[in-house]
Amino acid sequence: MKPLLLLTLLLWTFSSAIASESEKVLYLSYDEPPQRVIKGEYFPITLKLLSTIGSYEKLRYSFKDAKGIRLLSQQPRRIKRGNYYYDTFYFTATQTKASTPRISASLATHRATLPSLPLDVIVLNPKRDYAHILAETFTITNYKTTIYDQEHNIVVFSAKATRCNLTNFTLSHAIKQGFESKKFGIGTSSMTYYAIIPKQDDNLIFTYFNLKKQQFEKIIIPIIVDDDRVSTQSGLTPVESKHQRIKLIAASILVAVALGLLLYTRNLLFLLLIAAPAYYIYITAMPTEYVCIKPESPVQLLPMNNGTVFETIPSQLTLEAQGKVGNFTKVELENKQIGWVHHENLCTP
């Protein structure tokens, strides 16, 4: 090759490289990429981005050739620090052999690509009381325990969590369980959950894996039975009935004594002594209310719309009403189980 031609080719190649570099408008890199994740974990991959022409709202990403992980968020969570934008996508590890995808960012005709990175995916070895969730935070916000039948209680609790797949939540020792309400998300989640457990259990105990502390955390819900059935129900035991009679007699004596003192002294303060026991006698002596339930009516565990149905009334049935909440009436079935019937399923008088 002639020296002049060779020199011309070298100059063209060098000038092309400079022009290519000068035309680069996208700068893309990983920001602290993950190296070790837990199978089932919601983990972030954050991208550091700089565009010399702005127009970040027109930026598009593509993910190719991922192995053992699944993309959870199509749109990134974006924050700005100085001239750089940080876009975070969330993934979950589905297999032990995994790698991140090749990630490309494109803006108009410009493109920047990051290579795939290997991931070290570990599998937990939990104890039997593990609830099958990993979370950055997990908090019980409310709980309530009532009688389900003669051998079981039903515990209902609400919880909220962050960076957690609550859909996997399950208790290993519950007789029956399920979601009463749920709101799942990548960042925050919440649920109301019920569990039917043996009556002899003093606590509902389970564990979850805390992603922030990288250890198992124990959750303890004390079993404090709230028996809100009215005192006149037919299911009371003989001992309870005897105590009820004693209380009624004592209240009657107190009313009689206070009434006598009121008539004798003309002191109106004795009216205060009469009010409480008189109200107790009134409530206790109130006639029992019964409700007629239509055939094929569902009986729910809780007084909630779209609540869990555990029984269906096969034919028209009249049962004792033990309380009301909103549009639901509480009843005790013939098998001694307690549930709620929506008012639309009651017979029309």
Which two tokens mark 130?
């593990």
Contacts of 315 (CB under 8 A, 6+ apart): 295
The DSSP string of 68-128 is SEEE--SS-EEEEETTEEEEEEEEEE-SSEEEPPEEEEEETTEEEEE---EEEEE-----T
Q: Which residue has the higher pLDDT, 45 or 319?
A: 45
pLDDT surpasses 80 at 188: yes
Other beta carbons less than 10 A from residue 161's beta carbon: 23
pLDDT at position 282 is: 58
Q: So where are the chain's domains?
A: 23-122, 130-222, 238-285, 290-345
**Cβ contact 318:293 at 8 Å:** yes
Which two tokens mark 170?
């399950």
pTM: 0.66
Helix (H) or strand (E) holding 37: strand 36-38
pLDDT at position 243 is: 52
Q: Over the chain, what is the mean pLDDT?
A: 80
Closest CA to 344 of 302, 309, 305: 305
What percentage of residues in the chain have a pLDDT greater than 90?
Answer: 40
pLDDT surpasses 80 at 80: yes
| CATH fold of the domain at 290-345 | SH3 type barrels. (2.30.30)
Cα atoms found within 13 Å of the Cα of residue 162, Cβ hemisphere only: 5
- Which of 38-52, 72-86, 222-236, 292-306 is predicted least confidently? 222-236
pLDDT surpasses 90 at 119: yes
Other beta carbons less than 10 A from residue 71's beta carbon: 14
Average pLDDT over residues 37-41: 94
Q: Which residue has the higher pLDDT, 253 or 293?
A: 293
CATH superfamily of 23-122: Immunoglobulins (2.60.40.10)
pLDDT at position 288 is: 66
Residue 134 has what DSSP assignment? E
- Which of 2-6, 20-24, 111-115, 269-273 is predicted least confidently? 2-6
Residue-wise pLDDT tens digits, 253-281? 766 766 666 566 666 565 566 666 666 56
